Amino acid sequence: MHSEPFYDPAKSYLDNFEHGPFGLFANTSASFPAKPTRHQFLGHPVDAPFGIPAGPLINGKFVKAALDMGFDIPVYKTVRTRRQACHPWPNVLAVRVAGDLKPDQTLVAGSEYSEPLSITNSFGVPSFDPDFWQPDMADAAAYARPGQVVVGSFQATLPENGSAAAYLQDFRLGARLVKETGVKVMEVNLSCPNEGTANLLCFDIARSRQVVEAIKEEIGSLPLVIKMAYYKDQDQLQAFVREVGGAVDAIASINTIAAEVRDVSGRQALPGEGRLRSGVCGSAVKWAGLEMASRLARLRAELGMKFAIIGVGGAGSAAAFDEYRRAGADVVMSATAAMWNPRLAQEIKGQAHEL
């Protein structure tokens, strides 16, 4: 492994939130020389089309450190319109995967992190109240230097009574609150469990279209990214892109792929109800991220659309960055690899051929 991770899996979410980031992220400084920007991200110049997706950058301190380390498009972790507690610790575990993650595969989890790096994470999309995250996100967004842009991610919370109207209203409120922070790009998370009538909201195409239209009414011309999951069925993916692709500015894919996760004794690795299956990310899902980037690029061309493609999943090296760019991704992001290798952005800027 490269170094101490900037989010420490051995510590609780609150411990990381209050005392992190750790490792090299704890001692960053904005010391990179200014460079002419060579790329555009949704109308904004960026030095490199590379960043960290929603997930490990849990507050403004983490986002600022990412910017200092040269990750030019960091995403402030997904927030909600009201407080949401984190799942019980542990929230991150290493998983052993031989090659690519296969459908319905059961994985063994532990605390020994090694290359090729894959992890499972289970947080439950925690959030503080807007009274905290609005000024914190605003401060992080303002910290970006020329050639960098901070993305603010959010999602709604499904009401207990299941009211579709209340759900859409919460998306509207979340969009309004994030827009008020002054971020230049927004992302709505359609890829986390239990937020749609079909488990993942992005698989509920009609509801996703309603959500996107409601958000765009709130934010106007502010660029909107939608974060989606891996689609097995090509016809379903085409239907989704046909319905939603023309209404958004970018599609980020993938999030994680769910798998059953147990410890070496065969017991459920993550404590609590509903956590036997959890999302896997890192090296084992790179195939899915690359495949989705390629499929989205083909659909974009076939349907005559203009949305940008953000490729996510196992992008842990300059070579992987190049693979994503050749597959059709306009922007590439890394979460798992970046956590353990804070110099990843600098390595990509020095080594990648597809910049």
Cβ atoms of residues 282 and 316 within 8 Å: yes
**pTM of the prediction?**
0.96
The sign one gets for the Cα dihedral 277, 281, 285, 289 is: positive
- The Cα-based distances of 140 to 76, 81, 341 in angstroms read 8, 19, 21
Tell me the chain's radius of gyration from C-alpha atoms. Answer: 19
Provide the Cα torsion 325, 329, 333, 337; round to 10°: -50
What is the distance between the alpha carbons of residues 16 and 195, in angstroms, rounded to a whole number? Answer: 26
Neighbours of 301 (CB within 10 A): 10
Range of weakest confidence among 32-41, 135-144, 170-179, 268-277: 32-41
Q: Which residue has the tokens 């290359």?
A: 115
Report the share of the chain in percent with pLDDT over 90. 87
Q: Which residue has the tokens 């998983």?
A: 95
**Annotation: CATH topology of 13-351:** TIM Barrel (3.20.20)
Q: Judge whether residue 196 has pLDDT over 50.
A: no
Q: How far is CA 312 from the centre of its chain?
A: 8
Q: Report, as an integer, the average pLDDT of 78-102.
A: 95
Q: What share of the chain is helix, strand, coil (3-state, %, to 5)?
A: 35, 20, 45
Q: Report, as an integer, the average pLDDT of 221-243.
A: 96
Tokens of 111: 């605390």
Nearest to 227 by CA among 319, 333, 134: 333
Tokens of 227: 């974060």
Helix H or strand E segment including 177? helix 164-179
Cβ atoms of residues 19 and 62 within 8 Å: no
Specify the 3-state DSSP secondary structure of 277.
strand
pLDDT of amino acid 159: 86
Q: Judge whether residue 285 has pLDDT over 80.
A: yes
pLDDT band with cut points at 50, 70 and 90 for residue 355: confident
